[in-house]
Amino acid sequence: MLRIGIVDDIEQDRSLLSHDIRDILADLDQHVYCQAYSSAAAFLNDFERDTYDLVFLDIRTGNIDGIELSRQLRMQDTELLIIFISTSPEYMFDVFPVHPFDYLVKPYDRSRLAGVLGEVERVIRSDKQSVAVITDQGERHIPLRHISAIESWHHSAELHLTDGRTIKAKTAFDAVEHRVSLDRHFLACNKGTIVNLDQVSSAEGGIVHTKDGHDYSLRMRDQKALSEHIARYVADRIHH
C-alpha cells in the first residue's frame, strides 16, 4: 500500500489530485492511503517519520510555504519522496536543495501524473532490492536506492549512502559490482567507481557530481559517451 499525503490550501485542487491519485493507482492494482491537508501546519501536526511514502506539496500554502515545509520534513525523514505542485515552473530551481522527486505544474496532465506515480511505485519496490555486504557488524542488506556511489577500497567495496554515511565492507568490490550492474540505474564511470544515476546532479568536464556533494572522474577513453549517457538520464529524470 502506498501512503500519500497532499498539502494544498485550495480545496478543489486537493480534491481533484486525491481523486486522480486513487483512480490511477486503482488502474495499477495498487492500494493507496491518501490524506489531504489544507495547511502545512495541519500536516506537520500529524506527521511522523515513516508516516508517508510520498507527499505532494503545493508551493504556496499560507504562512508556511511548500519549500519551508519540505525543509522541515527533510529534517525528520530523509527518505520521504516529495513532489511539488505549483501554477508556475518559476520555483523549480529553488526546490533542488531538498531533492524533490518531481515537480508538477498546474493544471497537470493526467498522463504526466500517471507516469510519475508509476515511477514512485518502482522506487518504492526498489526498497526491496538490495545488495548484501559483509561488515564488522556482520551481513547487511543495503537497499540499492540508498546507495549514491560505490568505490573500490583495498579491493573491497566502499559504499557511499544517500544520507551521508559510508560503509566500508569486507565484500569484494567485484562481487558488489556484479550485483548492481544488473540494475540499469547504476553506471561504472571509471575503474573501481560506480554511481547511482538517480543520485547524479550533473556531469561536466569529465567529472560526475552527485547530490551528496561528491565528485567522481569519468573513464578517459569513454568520457564523451559516458557524459552524454548521464546527461540524457538526468534530463529524462527531470522532465519525466
Q: What is the CATH number of the domain that holds 26?
A: 3.40.50.2300
Q: Are residues 113 and 39 in the same domain?
A: yes
Q: Are residues 216 and 101 in the same domain?
A: no
Q: Are residues 13 and 120 in the same domain?
A: yes
Query: How many CA atoms are closer than 13 Å to the CA of 123, on its beta-carbon side?
Result: 21
Q: Are residues 35 and 117 in the same domain?
A: yes
Q: Which pTM was predicted?
A: 0.57
Q: Are residues 116 and 183 in the same domain?
A: no
Residue 213, domain extent:
130-239
Which residues have CB under 8 Å from 94's CB, separation 6+? 67
From first to last of its 240 residues, the chain has per-residue pLDDT tens of 789 999 999 999 999 999 999 999 998 888 899 999 999 999 999 898 778 889 999 998 877 888 999 999 988 887 789 999 999 888 888 888 888 999 999 999 999 999 999 989 877 776 667 899 999 888 988 888 889 999 999 889 999 999 899 999 999 999 999 999 888 889 999 999 999 998 988 888 889 999 989 999 998 888 888 888 888 887 776 555
Return the ∠ at Cα 159 (arms to 165 and 100), rounded to 5°: 60
Q: Are residues 112 and 7 in the same domain?
A: yes
- What residues pair up with 4 in beta bridges, in sequence order? 34, 54
Q: What is the CATH number of the domain that holds 232?
A: 2.40.50.1020
d(C-alpha 238, C-alpha 240), whole Å: 6
pLDDT at 31: 87
Q: Are residues 118 and 135 in the same domain?
A: no
Q: Are residues 105 and 171 in the same domain?
A: no
The count of structural domains within the chain is 2
Q: Which of 99, 126, 153 is the last residue of a domain?
A: 126
